Amino acid sequence: MNHTAILLPGIITPAKITYRYLLPAFGGAASVITRDLAIYDKGAPPPDYSFDMEIDAILRTADDAGLDRFHLGGFSGGGAISTAFAAQHPDRLASLVLMEPAWLGNEGQTDDEIAVRDAIRATEDLPYAQSLAAFARLNVADDVELPAPPQGDPPAWMEHRPAGIFAIGPACRNHSLDLDALRSLACPVLYMRGARSNPSMYLRIQERAAKIFPDFTIEIFEDRHHFDPPHRSEPERTAELLLEFWKNAEARLPA
């Protein structure tokens, strides 16, 4: 069986780089469309950027590929967008995969989450290099030693990424997530988390998600964190996990 999925990257790295190790690990057993976030479709983030733009882009991608129902997944910001899509178009999904989603609605956030989000918002006032470093530190556990930034000129695709980081925060805050729609979601949901990511963010989101989604599975990668994610560092295990999850999800679809 060849499973059909759309995978979204996070707010920083393009899709082809995000999933460059994962895609070959499927060994031809899945047809995966990797789509860059719509925030960068015209280069710089548009001033009126919203999650509705991302949701419309996913619909166009699926329709252009002739997909009536498909598996959807996303990492970090892409996971947040996938959640928003699921709430608006649950009938289009065969399953939902959330890889450390950066957001799960504004309702019911814990004090830990709010503190991290406030700290991330404060990084917008820092100089460029300091802002990125502070943003990275807030996404991992305290004992994680992050590598030094790469030397030399940044790749061309990095030009608009800082602006993207600053634009996705307001998009999250301004989007109204329909939690009732998620509570009645018929398809299964898989939540993937690195044990070394910031627990005040990703563990708390996991705990909230477990109370929302009726069919919810958690997979923990003990040695991974937000900047050393499973799809990059453990692609074979990740591919095997996804293929099995997609297979089981499809077995439940109506004939």
Give residue-wise pLDDT tens across range 169-199: 999 999 999 999 999 999 999 999 999 999 9
The reported pTM is 0.96
Largest separation between any pair of C-alpha atoms in the chain: 55
> In this predicted structure, what is the pLDDT of residue 126?
84
Q: Would you mind telling me the total number of residues written for the chain in this entry?
A: 255
The class (CATH top level) of 3-251 is: alpha beta
Give residue-wise pLDDT tens across range 81-109: 999 999 999 999 999 999 999 999 999 99
Task: Give the pLDDT mean for 215-242.
Answer: 98
Give residue-wise pLDDT tens across range 191-228: 999 999 999 999 999 999 999 999 999 999 999 999 99
Residue 115 makes CB contacts below 8 A (sequence gap 6+) with 200
Mean pLDDT of the chain: 95
Residue 253 makes CB contacts below 8 A (sequence gap 6+) with 69, 94
